[in-house]
Structure 1
Amino acid sequence: MSFRYNRLSLAIALVSAAASSQAMAGAFQLQEQSVSGQGTSWAGRSSNVQDGSIVFGNPAGMSFLDRAQVTAGTHYIDASSDISNDSGTQPTLAGVVGTQGSTDGDMIPHKAVPFGYYVQPINDRWSFGLGVYAPFGLVTDYGDDFKGRYFGNYSDLEIITAQPTLSYRFNDKFAIGFGVTYNHIKGELESKTPNPLNPAASSDGTVNVKGNDDAWGYNIGLIYRPVESTTLGLTYRSKVDYHLTGDVDASNVFGGVGAGGAVFLNRSGDASLDITLPETIDFSVTHQLDDRWTVMAGATYVRWSRFDQLVVDNGLGLDINEQQDYRDTWQYAAGLSYKVNPAWTLRGGIAYDQSPVKDAHRSPRVPTANRNLVSIGAGWTPIPDLTIDAAYSYIWEDRADVDQQKANGTSYKAEYDNSLNLFGVQATYRF
């Protein structure tokens, strides 16, 4: 026996959090940057100028806000996974045996995702904005005795972005915006390794990894109004290159049997990983039918194929080169809003997100498939200076089959049925 079976565990522990989420858009991309947008399933995200959250949706849209404003809010995630038909194997000195453990799909803790924006018109043409939001992130916690623990049992990843932005309005029809993004990524990942001398969860080894990095990106947006009732929006969000650095801690990791008996690895070392998070292109249209009804639709292209290969350098001397082979995806959304009176606006929307994960590479850390979304929402403006928005979305995925195997005989198979309740509330104050 050797440390070879630990290579995939280390690779996943360092990066799979940057490739999984049960909760939001395709793979680990978050949609939770606007509650007013959530009410229409984020249809019209780059063309529907409602409040300060347009800093994220389309920086050019700031030019169409008539005064300074602050928008802040949070989303609350209640996700669940039903795991069925699961089985696993692990190596022993006498051969391969079945893995014992729990089948617990309650691995996503309840989570709040906050955001905030500030927009300040400078003059009739220029506007300044600042946004702080989370474009990517996840938390999954299966527990130490999860049956698929050798393919990942704990992930905690957080990316926070700060985006100072400028927009310029050429005339009543056309505006452009540009934002620089400062992105901070940090995470803690953990996976288990089997002990061939004692195939029980209590004898497993543990690999725990922590890492972080800071990186820069940018957003560019265009808005065009060919007629007063119709707005076209186009937003480009750049790829972001990360070089994560951190520590690898190995505890009780079985390394073989020598003349002196069993050898276990109990060491710490440095680890680093280069990954690229994909660029997106978001196009949408918003059309006001009359004084009360507005319809919107949008499509988003995500270049997930950049997430192709993982090469991890580490202080434990392991050669890690893991293929991911993600595919590019599309997200589609349609929505409408109805203005009941000057104080109340009602919203609704549907959406469909393709999953970038191919069947051959789906793991317990990435048990995601194509997903569907329906949303309702409302905006209340009790006074002209204040608007309160609330929204609810229900998200469900196609069945996701996991079938993972390692050369040493470790395997895990299961069927995942994932769903999510998403609640949002935000406030916008104008001054």
Structure 2
Amino acid sequence: MNKKRLFTKSVIAFAVTMASQQAVAAGFQLNAQSATGLGRAFAGDAVIADNASAMARNPAAMSLFDRPALSLGINAVDTDINVKNTEFGAGPFVNDVDDASVGGVSYVPNIYYIHPINDKFTVGASIYSNFGTKTEFDSGYGQDQALPDFIPGVGGLTPDVYGGLTDVKSVNFGLSGSYRINQQWSVGAGLDIIYGSGKLQRGRGLNAGNDPSNPDLLNVDADGVGFGFNVGTVYELNENHRFGLSYRYSPELEVDGDMYYSQSTTGNPNISGDKLKIALPDMAEFSGYHRVHQQFAVHYSVQWIGWSSFANLETTGGDVLNNYEWQDGWHYALGGTYYLNNDWTLRAGYMYDTSAQDKVTSISVPDSDRQWFSGGFTYHLDSKSNIDVGVTYLVGEDIEVEEGIISATTRADAWLYGIQYSRSF
């Protein structure tokens, strides 16, 4: 298999992975289920239960509500991705490539509704997103650095075969229920229906003349649906101290879509007639909440994400398209809430978020250990309704990337903004 064909098959595999919406790098995990959680770096979110969005992190937290509750909002994720010190080529033909600044803004809406049936049973429904992002290099990225046509296997390629467009969206539809065992213990469970879509373009314009209707070397538009579940429990020591534990099972998806790449480049017009299988990572979270003073509470969370379950990507026919060496990820979050008065609640938090990537890296999927610095507030419109605002600055690290015949230093930072309206009935 020549280098072009290997590259193209690998990047198609990655595109469909992105579309599946759960087996993606930590850099694409959207901790953006609510503006409230965003304002405290999601510290304690599996147990605080200050509005209906709590069900996204722990279904058992619904037992803490004694009346129907509705929350709806939107978060914006503004990524700033820099690619610098880039070299592209093979053997004696290595070119310096101009620095690139990529990224974009993704909008993440959400809605939650919780309805107590009686003092024991509570049910809820939710629509939100767990993953999504967009990165786009300038069209024709690095065209001036094209490799000479006479180089076997890679002649004519430009850095755009590693850059291009990556656009990912996901929607999680959840149905949940909880049961209060006694004054201390509650349990809950939920069904997740996950729909994901992804678009990927590479080598834009390189295939002109082979197929005028689709001049790109690679153009993928894929989607898939999977079913998972989540379970959880809450232990209330008393009204001021409680703990939450939740576990989310993620399914193995089989996804497909429109996938095009140059026959003249690969010697094969498609991967195979099979679908792609993607093993998605499970997640577990432990949270605590302690109101240590009438006006102040501390809260914390530890979350584990089983990225190592995604060892490779293969078809239902048994063809292995790409191998990954991802590692399990961890989130450690600590936050505080200050109940200023009947109108205002203030919050802040810090999270340390470890990377899923280890040895396998990419200029279009930059990832690293990250730090979250968060702040937010709630304004109570009246005794039954309020507005939440949250802001987070996410700080990444410089990472040395080696991907095929390109090397670079990448860094991914982001701003996250959220606003949310909540009401009890």
TM-score past 0.5 threshold: yes
The one-letter amino acid paired with 2:176 is: T
Q: Any idea what the Cα deviations from partners look like across 1:346-397, whole Å, max 9, x if unmatched?
A: 0000000000101x31012321100001000000112011110001100011
2:166/2:201 contact within 8 Å kept: yes
Please, which of 182, 193, 215 is the counterpart of residue 171 of structure 1?
182
1:287/1:295 contact within 8 Å kept: yes
CA distance in 1, matches of 2:197, 2:117: 35
CA distance in 2, matches of 1:228, 1:268: 57
1:235/1:283 contact within 8 Å kept: yes
Partner of 1:41: 41
CA distance in 1, matches of 2:6, 2:299: 47
Q: Any idea what the Cα deviations from partners look like across 1:79-101, whole Å, max 9, x if unmatched?
A: 112222111116xxxx7634576
TM-score by length of 1: 0.86
CA distance in 1, matches of 2:401, 2:299: 36
Q: Secondary structure at the match of 2:130?
A: strand
The one-letter amino acid paired with 2:59 is: P
Question: Percent identity over the alignment?
Answer: 26
1:16/1:365 contact within 8 Å kept: no
Q: Counterparts of 1:11-160 in structure 2 under 5 Å?
A: 11-16=10-15, 18=17, 26-89=26-89, 97-98=93-94, 102-106=98-102, 108-147=103-142, 148-160=159-171
| CA distance 1:226–1:192, shift in 2 (3 Å) | same
Deviation of the 1:183 alpha carbon: 1.0
Partner of 1:380: 379
Deviation of the 1:205 alpha carbon: 5.3
Moved more, 219-228 or 183-192: 183-192
Deviation of the 1:16 alpha carbon: 4.7
Deviation of the 1:191 alpha carbon: 2.0
CA distance in 2, matches of 1:49, 1:381: 16
CA distance in 2, matches of 1:165, 1:312: 32
The one-letter amino acid paired with 1:428 is: S
Partner of 2:152: none
Confirm whether residue 393 of structure 1 aligns to residue 388 of structure 2.
no
Deviation of the 1:312 alpha carbon: 4.5
Partner of 2:328: 328
Deviation of the 1:17 alpha carbon: 6.6
Partner of 1:214: 225
CA distance in 1, matches of 2:364, 2:403: 11
| CA distance 1:25–1:97, shift in 2 (3 Å) | closer
| CA distance 1:401–1:100, shift in 2 (3 Å) | closer
1:247/1:268 contact within 8 Å kept: no
| CA distance 1:336–1:253, shift in 2 (3 Å) | farther
Confirm whether residue 412 of structure 1 aligns to residue 411 of structure 2.
no
CA distance in 1, matches of 2:226, 2:402: 34
Deviation of the 1:3 alpha carbon: 5.5
Deviation of the 1:37 alpha carbon: 1.1
The one-letter amino acid paired with 1:26 is: A
Confirm whether residue 427 of structure 1 aligns to residue 414 of structure 2.
no
Partner of 1:260: none
Partner of 1:258: none
| CA distance 1:229–1:73, shift in 2 (3 Å) | same
2:69/2:113 contact within 8 Å kept: yes
Confirm whether residue 284 of structure 1 aligns to residue 278 of structure 2.
no
2:9/2:271 contact within 8 Å kept: no
CA distance in 2, matches of 1:298, 1:111: 25
The one-letter amino acid paired with 1:160 is: V
Higher normalized strand content (fraction of residues): 1
CA distance in 2, matches of 1:312, 1:190: 21
Give the unaligned 5+ runs of structure 2: 143-158, 208-214
CA distance in 2, matches of 1:169, 1:423: 34
Give the unaligned 5+ runs of structure 1: 197-203, 256-263, 406-410
CA distance in 2, matches of 1:205, 1:6: 15
Partner of 1:224: 235
Deviation of the 1:165 alpha carbon: 0.5
Deviation of the 1:18 alpha carbon: 3.7
Q: Secondary structure at the match of 1:8?
A: helix
Give the aligned length.
401
2:43/2:287 contact within 8 Å kept: yes
CA distance in 1, matches of 2:375, 2:97: 39
Q: Counterparts of 1:147-296 in structure 2 under 5 Å?
A: 147=142, 148-192=159-203, 206-251=217-262, 253-254=264-265, 272-296=275-299
CA distance in 2, matches of 1:298, 1:285: 7
TM-score by length of 2: 0.87
> Aligned Cα RMSD in Å?
2.8
Q: Any idea what the Cα deviations from partners look like across 1:307-345, whole Å, max 9, x if unmatched?
A: 11112479xxx9653211111121100000000101110
